[in-house]
Amino acid sequence: MKVAIIGASGQTGLKLVRESLRRGHQVVAVCRTSSADRLKEFSDNGGCTVITAPVVSDLATLTQALAGCDAGVAVLISVRRLRATELVRSLAKAAAANGVKRLVFTAGEVTAAPEKDETFTLRQRIMLLVFTLMTWFTPYSMTDMIEASVLVRQQPDWDWTIVRAPTLREEPGVGYRLCEINEVTAKHVLSREDYATCLLDSLENPEHYRRALTVVSAGG
Ligand SMILES: NC(=O)c1ccc[n+]([C@@H]2O[C@H](COP(=O)([O-])OP(=O)(O)OC[C@H]3O[C@@H](n4cnc5c(N)ncnc54)[C@H](OP(=O)(O)O)[C@@H]3O)[C@@H](O)[C@H]2O)c1
């Protein structure tokens, strides 16, 4: 499979690139121009094409990146210069231009709107409130992330999957399990290695089309 990884130079993105190449996928890695050095080991080994832009939501960049791809994985984040909603809007146009329908997105525990049949726990509702208030005094925008998850679900042609994770850890993988969103407690964590594995397993699994999943560490 040829996969575009958008946000490839981040902590999860790098693990996604490594695991994709290990699985034999061709990888197009999209990242900020200023972060391209972090992908050098992969581009030097020939398995990965790196495409850079000052802001990765740039339409021309995404259209170029998705050319010939079967699927895309996007690390969603909403900061002042990179709005998740803009990334999803540009991806919608770029994917349509290239006939790409399979898209997988990262999300935090409460940074994607719940499905119609899901409810957040009291702790998750408090997290949502705190994160929303933080929008006023940090560069991060929870409201934009949630709006982006709504936009993803609205794309009629996409076989999308959103994979929500608890606190991520920079530690070796121990395996993962999928669970209900309201099973997640403050004790649940996930290694980024396992997150990357789960995102790519989902990418390859048609049963996960048009679903928001929740993943935690197998041991938790
Ligand atoms: N961190 C957690 O505990 C946690 C928990 C649950 C879910 N998640 C979700 O999991 C995903 C990956 O998280 P992560 O912690 O592994 O990601 P990360 O390393 O923080 O990086 C995520 C992406 O955001 C980009 N980015 C960061 N700051 C930026 C800025 N100021 N301007 C433009 N781009 C910027 C990074 O680009 P560069 O490489 O160019 O810096 C990278 O592509 C995200 O969707 C996150 O919401 C995270």
Compute the distance between CA of residue 30 and CA of residue 52 in angstroms, rounded to an integer.
6
b (16+ CB within 10 A) / e for 25-38: bbbbbbbbeebbeb
pLDDT for the residue 135? 87
Tell me the backbone φ, ψ of residue 103, rounded to 5 degrees. -130, 130
Whose alpha carbon is nearest atom 31 of ligand 1?
A: 79
pLDDT score at 9:
97
Closest residue by Cα to atom 33, ligand 1, is 82
Does the beta carbon of 53 sit less than 6 angstroms from any atom of ligand 1? Answer: no
Q: pLDDT tens track of the chain, all 220 residues?
A: 999 999 999 999 999 999 999 999 999 999 999 999 999 999 887 789 999 999 999 999 999 999 999 999 999 999 988 999 999 999 999 999 999 999 999 999 999 999 999 999 999 999 999 999 988 889 999 999 999 999 999 999 999 999 999 999 999 999 999 999 999 999 999 999 999 999 999 999 999 999 999 999 998 7
pLDDT in the model for residue 58: 97
**What's the pLDDT at 158?**
98
In short, whether 138's Cβ falls inside 6 Å of ligand 1 is: no
User: In the prediction, which pLDDT does 28 show?
Assistant: 98
**Is the beta carbon of 13 within 6 A of some atom in ligand 1?**
yes
Ligand 1 within 6 A of CB of 168: yes
**Ligand 1 near 64 CB (within 6 A):** no
* Mutate-to-test residue for ligand 1 from 9, 168, 184, highest number of ligand atoms within 8 A of CB: 168
In this structure, which CATH number among 3.10.129.10, 1.10.357.10, 3.40.50.300, 3.40.50.720 belongs to the domain 2-217?
3.40.50.720
Q: Is 165 near ligand 1, meaning CB less than 6 Å away?
A: yes
How far apart are the CA of 113 and the centre of ligand 1, in A? 18
Ligand 1 in contact with 212 (CB < 6 A)? no
Instruction: Tell which atom from ligand 1 comes closest to the C-alpha of 8.
Output: 43
| Residues pairing with 176 in the sheet | 217
CB distance 47 to ligand 1 below 6 Å? no
Q: What is the pLDDT of residue 44?
A: 83
How is the chain split into domains, by residue range?
2-217
How far lies 104's CA from each of 41, 77, 120, 159, in Å? 24, 14, 22, 8
Q: Is the pTM of this model over 0.95?
A: yes
Predicted local distance difference test score (pLDDT) of residue 111:
95
Which residues on neighbouring strands pair with residue 3, listed in sequence order?
27, 71
pLDDT at residue 152, rounded to an integer? 98
Exposed/middle/buried for 193, CB within 10 Å: 0-12, 13-18, 19+? buried
pLDDT score recorded for residue 220: 74
